[in-house]
Amino acid sequence: MSDTPLNGATPRSSGLLSGWTATTWATAICLVLLAVVPPVSFYAGQPFHVDLATRLVCLSIAAVSLNLILGYGGMVSFGHAAFIGIGAYSVGIPAYHATYGEFDLIASYNGWFHIALALVVSAIFAAITGAISLRTRGVYFIMITMAFGQMVFFLFVSMETYGGDDGLTIDVRSELPLIDLDKPLQLYFLCYGSLLGALFIVHRMVNSRFGMAIQGAKGNELRMQSIGYNTYVYRLVAYIISGAMCGYAGFLLGNFTTFISPEMMDWTRSGELMFMVILGGAATLVGPILGAVAFILLEEILSGFTIYWHLPFGVLLILCVLFARGGLMGFVSQWGRRNG
Amino acid sequence: MAETILEVRDLSKSFGGVHATANVTLDVLHGETHAVIGPNGAGKTTLISQLSGDLKPDGGSISFKGRDITSLPAYQRSLTGMARSFQITSLLMGMSVLDNVSLAVQAHDGHSFRFWTPARKDRKLRDKAMQSLQVVGLQDRAGELAGALSHGERRQLEIAVALATEPQFMLLDEPMAGMGAEESARMVEMLSGLKGEKSILLVEHDMDAVFALADRISVLVYGQVIATGLPEEIRTNEKVRDAYLGEGDE
């Protein structure tokens, strides 16, 4: 993974179509399809496709956030689903109290409040767990982030008030001005707009001084320290930003499913996010989205054949890791270079 | 007599039973090029790693510009004006040559918590980085990936990265390692251009280079400094001849 090209030398296209690389094309096509297909299928009487697309886009945001630290920062977090859970419960718990009373301090249907809660709690959780996890490297980092993720999982399992193991139904979705999240298309476009926002933020960030510093720390930490970087602090900040972004994805996912349970932050969910990033192409802007598309499609198709769909899925993943280093985006840029 | 910029006192480091650094006491003066020579396994790289902060000494003290830096982490030593080059080339192979140098400039231009402006279009960083590349003669290779450079060019880039941090003092760990005669000669020429302007602690196996560049030489054997002096004193020193120069003379 660490040998995948960092896009370091290739200049960004200047906006003229003639300067577009295969990667830029893939990005544009991907984003246009996501903008066009769901409303078309909705009006063609296929609302199920909108549901599928909404879930896809929510998971894409989570994968994009994971890519920031895994792809660009070289921090392989195996506990990222915890942030999705924190975000989802940031909707569920205030809404629960607003409906059934008690805990007036946080009882609210207000969407802004839910978003703020998701971001702040995720960021605090990331700051605490990151400060500890980032003192380790490699396999130890993977294991410790997974352990923290499982801690949150069991915390929510033990909270009987909020359904424990059985989960919690969100009776009333977050209330936001101008948009009604009960309308599938409006919810979808909130998610889609958020994905564009997340991509833009990540794009600006990885090319900024901060982004150069975390990519440098991924490539060669000792070197970065010897030229004057406190790599620990830069990594920690990247970890916090990624966690908060993933918490926001959880806020959207909670509003989409309206049923939340600890299962959504199980370590296998974290594993799925990792699949998406690696399958799509780590350290590329839209790789995680391609990975999420591939994941959702494979899940749909393979589970149509057999309930044991994880088995062929696992085989595909192994083949991908063995033969397609750089993931799906790796294919795209190779193809672009060959036909350039 | 010039002032000292680096003072090493009784520095010790052991790995198991091996005393890799045994009570090393050493001074580097302002503007001086001080070479450390010694046979393989004498503990030269271990010494450099302790001076740069990558390795914690067991005992003794290091002071730099009059300040005790023994427990300062590597990145802070860099910020106080110390730079190191690595014996085994240590670059960001997936980034361009210019990126490698410009990251070094960036580290010394305030904090890097700037999340929005593209760093690769930052003239302030890029111009300074180009200047460092010019000093080592790599300006025409700026756009290449560091991984695409030849061995000799990578060694030059190592120096350019170190220079870009605008150090007063440089720790150079075998800058000529693995270079051909011609490349070595060019490196010696470049380093002699830095003489006087930078204080340098040079570890090198190439004796021609050492005697061409060094103002003073210390000889390290089994972690101990057995002699320090002017090049001609070292050349004629009995102990040194026995321990090092005499046998085989690389």
Residue B84 is predicted with a pLDDT of 94
Check residue A2 and give its pLDDT: 39
H/E run at residue B5:
strand B4-15
Closest by Cβ to A227, choosing from B54, B73, B78: B78
Confirm whether A297 is domain-assigned: no
Q: Return the residue in A3, A224, A227, A333 with the most chain B beta carbons within 10 A, the one to mutate for interface testing.
A: A227
Residues in chain A with CB shorter than 8 Å from the CB of B169 are: none
Query: How far, in Å, are A5, A93, A276, B54, B135 from residue B106 at the CA level?
Result: 22, 44, 33, 21, 18
The residue in chain A having the minimum alpha-carbon distance to the alpha carbon of residue B162 is A227
Of A225-229, A312-316, B116-120, give the lowest mean pLDDT range: A312-316
**pLDDT class for B77, splitting at 50, 70, 90?**
very high
Residues A306, A42, A167, CA angle at the centre, nearest 5°? 55
**What is the rounded CA–CA span in Å between residue B39 and residue B242?**
12
In a domain, A304, yes or no: no
Question: Which of B49, B55, B120 to mutate against chain A (most A CBs within 10 Å)?
Answer: B120
ipTM of this predicted structure: 0.91
Confidence at residue B245, expressed as pLDDT on a 0 to 100 scale: 58
Residue where the block lists tokens 């998610």:
A191
With an 8 Å Cβ cutoff, are A9 and B144 in contact?
yes
- CATH number corresponding to B1-81+168-250: 3.40.50.300
Place of tokens 């370590």: A267
Q: For position A18, what pLDDT does the model report?
A: 61
- Residue A187, classed as helix, strand or coil, is helix
Nearest by Cα to B188 from B202, B199, B198: B202
pLDDT digits (tens, 9 = 90+) for A148-177: 999 999 999 999 999 999 999 999 999 999
In a domain, A324, yes or no: no
Confidence check: pLDDT of A118 > 70: yes
Residues A256, A60: Cα–Cα separation, whole Å: 14
Residue B250 pLDDT > 50: no
Is A321 a domain residue? no
Residue A81 in tokens: 């689903």
CA distance B182 to chain A (A): 28
pLDDT band, residue A6 (cuts 50/70/90): very low
How many whole angstroms separate alpha carbon A132 and alpha carbon A128? 7
Please check whether residue A329 lies inside any domain of the structure: no
pLDDT bucket at A324, cuts 50 / 70 / 90: confident
Q: How far off is chain B from A197, nearest CA to CA, in Å? A: 13
Q: Once rounded to an integer, what is the mean pLDDT over residues A90-118?
A: 95
Q: What is the pLDDT of residue B249?
A: 45
Closest residue by Cα to residue B192 from B250, B235, B149, B135: B135
For the residues B155-168, what does the mean pLDDT come to?
95
Domain boundaries, chain B: 1-81+168-250, 93-166
Give the residue, A195 or A48, on which the prediction is more confident. A195
B65-69: which pairs have CB atoms within 8 A and are 24 or more residues apart? B65/B5, B65/B168
Question: Has residue A289 been placed in a domain?
Answer: no
Give chain B's mean pLDDT: 92
| pLDDT more than 70, % of chain A | 94
Q: Where are the alpha helices (DSSP H) in chain A?
A: 22-43, 47-67, 81-100, 111-133, 138-158, 184-207, 209-219, 221-226, 231-257, 267-280, 287-305, 310-323, 327-339
Measured CB to CB, residues of chain B less than 8 Å from chain A are 52-54, 73-75, 78-79, 83-84, 86, 90-96, 99, 102-104, 106-108, 112-120, 122, 143-145, 161-162, 164-165
Q: Which residues of B touch A1 (CB under 8 A)?
A: none
In a domain, A27, yes or no: no
Cross-chain residue pair B112–A226, CB shorter than 8 Å: no
Residue A8 located in a structural domain: no
Which tens digit of pLDDT belongs to each residue from A197-213? 999 999 999 999 999 99
Domain region containing A242 = 51-267
